[in-house]
Structure formats: C-alpha cells, structure tokens
Amino acid sequence: MANIGFIGTGIMGAPMAAHLQAGGHQLFIHNARSRPAQLIAAGATMCASAAEVARNAEIIILMVPDTPDVESVLFGENGVAAGLAAGKVVVDMSSISPIATKEFAARINQLGCDYLDAPVSGGEVGAKAASLTIMVGGPEATFNKVKPLFDLMGKNITLVGGNGDGQTTKVANQIIVALNIQAVAEALLFASKAGADPAKVRQALMGGFASSRILEVHGERMVKRTFNPGFRIALHQKDLNLALQGARALGVSLPNTAAVQELMNSMVAHDGGGLDHSALCQAVERMANHRIAGD
C-alpha cells in the first residue's frame, strides 16, 4: 500500500481517486474548486496546497482540465515541484498538449523524479466503472511501478512510448471520437429529415458495418435528447484545438478535424459548451432547421 497524492477530484478525478482508496491506498488530495466530502469521509487527507500533497505522497496524480492548469499545479506557487524529493513519481492523467508535456517531464526529471503522461478515455462512465482506457508515455520501469494503480482505474492500459506519446495518443483518440460523433449526427439527421424513424434506423445500423460504440451510446443520446455531460463539449473543443495546433507544428492537414472543430465552436457560442459532446448534433440540426428527434 502506498501514499498517493491526487490533485483534481472533479467529475472524472473523484471516482478515479475513490478506486485507489478502495484498493487500500492512503490518499492525500487537493482540489482548489471543491471539497470532496466522500473521499474525506473515507479517510483521505485534504491538503492545503499541491506542494503539501507532494511532500506526503510517493506518487502524485494530476487530473485537471487543460495545459495551463497542469503547469500551474506543477510549477506555480506552492505547486507540486516545491514539495518533491528525489525518487518520487508524477503522473499527469489530464488531457493536454504533447509538446508541453515533454517540457514538463524534463523539468520534473531535473528534480530527480520520474514523470508519466497517462491521459484517459471513457468519460465519467468509465471513471466510475474503473474501465478507463489509459494511454501512457514515459520510462518503462516507471510505468511498471505505477501500473498496479492504473489497474485500479482502468482496463485497457498501454505504454505507448516516451513522455508525450500518451498525450499524442489521446489527441488521436479525440479526433476519431469527434469525427464519429459528427458522422452519426449527420446520418441520423438525414434519416429523420427523410421521414424515417431515427431510433429504428439506429437499431438497424447497429447490426451492420456502420456499427460503433458512438452509434450505440451517442446515437441513443441524440434520439432521446439526453445531453447531460459525460464529457463536455468545451473539453472536446480544447482537445481538438490541441490536435490542430499539433498539426500546424507538424506541417500536416487535418481538414475534417478542422470542420468538426468549427461545429464545436458553434456549440460553445450557443452556450452549449457544458453539454455532452453527443450534443454536437445540435450544430447540424440548426443548419438543417430540423431536429433528429423530439419537438
């Protein structure tokens, strides 16, 4: 059993931390935005700063929204770096810039500590079910040391390569998911506008080559109009920004990613950033002046 630090106990982080706690580990937590009462009631120690978390824990896990948040938590005043001692491990499970990740890892390494980038896929449902896909970048020995913790939070756990490669994999994941959501939205909109029952169209397509997890889960959300967030549009918008920034730096073109990003931008402009990313269908519904389902 280990002393584990966990910074960022929000929609995703709280259930992830709870699984570590249920696995018998002692948690030292810090969350600037809220007080995770259930974790504290189960024995977690609330720390006043990220530095205090780092002083108490052997392995420090971050689960915060964006690149600037990770930088602030790591290197800001009373950040993780201020509390580190040689031999500790920092694990960033946020979804952030691969380029910045390499810089952060190098700075942590200079303090005599190891660094893993380990973003996840699976949303709130996967976090609660401990079935997340975890994509890891960093040294193999460090990965092997931390893997028992990953096993408590996820199912499909892969060491992809060195630092930054985990984040690169997550960006690739978000490209695929976004384009699939858009494809399902357009297909169901087309079917509905043509007069077919979108629920039955979805059911029929689930038995063919067009079947996908997106069609199964997000297609149902589009038909039933259940857009309470499992993964918010604003966060997916951020991830596609990372994809397009990376593409620009690499000199490659991602035309369909750019198109879907504009629809994400439209959703945020219409106050839809807090909805589940399946609500992307609303952007194409506005252009067609027709809803997939409902009044």
Q: What is the mean pLDDT of each run of 10 residues along the chain (295 residues)?
A: 94 95 96 84 95 98 95 97 97 96 98 98 92 98 98 97 97 96 98 98 96 96 94 94 94 98 98 97 97 88
CA R_g for the chain: 20
pLDDT tens digits along 64-98: 999 999 999 999 999 999 999 999 999 999 999 99
* Token pair belonging to 206: 């689930």
* Dihedral sign from CA coordinates of 202, 206, 207, 211: positive
Q: Report the DSSP beta bridge partners of residue 232.
A: 276
pTM of this prediction exceeds 0.85: yes
- Please name the residue that has the structure tokens 């199912």: 155
- Please name the residue that has the structure tokens 């994941």: 173
CB atoms within 10 A of CB 27: 26
What's the Cα-to-Cα distance from 98 to each of 29, 32, 102, 188, rounded to whole Å? 25, 25, 6, 34
Active site residue 193: no
The pLDDT assigned to 258 comes to 98
User: How many residues can be counted in the chain?
Assistant: 295
Question: How far apart, in whole angstroms, are the C-alpha atoms of residue 104 and residue 98?
Answer: 10
Q: Of 102, 128, 170, 238, which residue is the catalytic one?
A: 170
